[in-house]
Amino acid sequence: MKPVALTMLGLITVGCLPGGGGGGGGMTLFFGDGGDVDGGAGEPDAAMLASCGNGVKDPGEACEGTDVGGLTCDALGLGEGVPTCAPGCARLDTSGCSGAPPPPAGCGNGTIDEGEVCDGQNLGNASCDTLGLDPGTLRCAADCRRFDPSGCGGGDCEPTCGARVCGPDPTCGTSCGVCNEGACNTQGQCEVNRDPSAPRFLQFGTNVQVLNDGDTAVFTAVLTDDDGIDDLIGGTLIDARTGSTLGSFVSAAQEGAYSLRVTWDDFHTSSPLNFGPNGEERTFRAEFFDAGGLSSSAETTLRLRCGSAGHSACDAVCFDLQTDQNNCGRCGNVVRQNGGAGIECRQGAPACVQDDPLYFICDGVCIDGRFDDQNCGRCGKTCNRSDTGFSDCRASEYGNCVGEFVVNQRTTCRQVCPQKVPGGACTPYEDTGRAYYSEGDRDFEDVDCDTAPPPDDGWGNDFQRLHCYCQY
């Protein structure tokens, strides 16, 4: 077995590949920043790690003496045991580890099953190029859990740890971290307080990463037990946030394999489904027990969301909160008109059916703000004034009140209107004012905003008063 170094920044994982001589069980992990880390003869490059031997684990060193950075075989996903520091401080020697977990049950069937990133010649859509490496031949590792990029050229592979917090990432084989306590399972999660004799997870996950409304998720777990597979009793699935139990796992045909089907409604019963268009990510914990009362747990995440784009969940039922009459903008916000029709939900808010800014809602009623004397142009704006000949809300003034104001001076309506009412302005029409003369109300002359009436009507009748029509 020949160790092949995958050069990365930080941790450099060396997979055991066919070819080359010697090599028993275990795996050697190299650390460095590129280059020939083993000098071509199984020994570290002395020039690269000149600090080795000073008793301190310096930057760039994998270890120093007995200081292996707190790593354990479990934390590396390599079973029981403790790694040691190889001569030269450039690598961890994991030959003392009991070995990596066995491959997923379906590994070798040519199909990429749950827990696998590849299977034999089936690499999905992956290639040296998609990993960010130079051209070459990408292979699938023997355990189907990661790619073997040793046949690719140089370059920097882009790790895809995702939700993993420990162990190797499935794309490049670089470390996603180590467990400060507990052991790293095959899902890249730390199992805390696991007794060595307790059940051990080989695989735990779901058939989908995103569950849409009305669908069912299948949780599968594969375990082993140092006391024999018959020592396993079973397990339950728990909502990690609420602590509620969603059900018990059922034994599958494969030895040590279990499954549990959980429907959309089951998730809602466990913890109400109320979320927006992006859905909600939840963490679920599988906890298994053996006949000795020992237990182990593993966690996985699942995003729950509505299948229709833009929809939100209200007590597990999906609605478009932008348009739904009974859930407008938020769950349970009912849109109804008091005493009639004419209101709809538009862009998540109640709105009049008429898509016009002069139609608006006041106290649950759709108002035509062009004519309503109590809500002229906006809610609560009244047009009733005692100092006017008349006052009303007029559509021609775009939701403004219009009132008639009378003066006895020969002036312009543009001057009269702001004096009579704050913010008042003459209406923008030719007949905005009317001048009356001594002959009576039948003797008048229309004037515009900026024209003062003449002193007489040309027939010997003198000016009497000016009526201005002002908007406010």
Place of tokens 């071509």: 40
Report the C-alpha dihedral over residues 142, 144, 147, 151, rounded to 10 degrees: 30
Distances (CA, A) of 116 to 121, 216, 303: 13, 21, 20
3-state class (DSSP) for residue 124: coil
**Rounded CA gap, 204 and 198, in Å?**
16
3-state SS assignment for residue 432: coil
The span from the CA of 215 to the CA of 27, in Å, is 42
Residue-wise pLDDT for 102-151, tens only, equals 677 788 999 888 667 889 999 988 888 877 788 889 888 888 877 887 78
Largest Cα span, the chain? 130
Distance CA 225, CA 227 (A): 5
For the chain, give every domain's residue range: 194-305, 401-471
Contact 3, 28 (CB under 8 A): yes
Query: Could you give the CA distance from residue 225 to residue 234 in angstroms, rounded to a whole number?
Result: 12
How many beta carbons lie within 10 A of that of residue 1, not counting itself? 16
Q: Global pTM?
A: 0.48
**Each residue's pLDDT tens digit in the chain (472 positions)?**
333 333 332 333 333 333 333 333 333 343 333 333 333 333 333 333 567 888 888 776 668 888 887 777 766 656 677 778 877 776 667 667 765 556 777 889 998 886 678 899 999 888 888 777 888 898 888 888 778 877 887 666 667 776 677 776 776 666 677 666 666 766 677 766 567 788 888 888 899 889 999 999 999 999 988 888 889 999 999 998 888 999 999 998 788 899 999 999 999 998 999 999 999 999 899 999 999 888 888 888 899 999 999 999 999 999 999 999 899 999 999 887 655 558 889 899 888 888 888 888 888 888 888 888 888 888 998 887 777 777 788 755 566 888 889 999 999 999 999 999 888 888 876 568 899 998 767 778 899 999 999 999 888 899 999 999 898 8
Q: Please state which CATH class domain 194-305 belongs to.
A: mainly beta
Residues contacting 336, CB < 8 A, separation 6+: 325, 343, 364
CA 221/CA 206 separation, integer angstroms? 9
Give per-residue burial for 340-367: e unless 16+ CB within 10 Å, then b. Answer: eeebbbeebebbbeeeeebbbbeeebbb
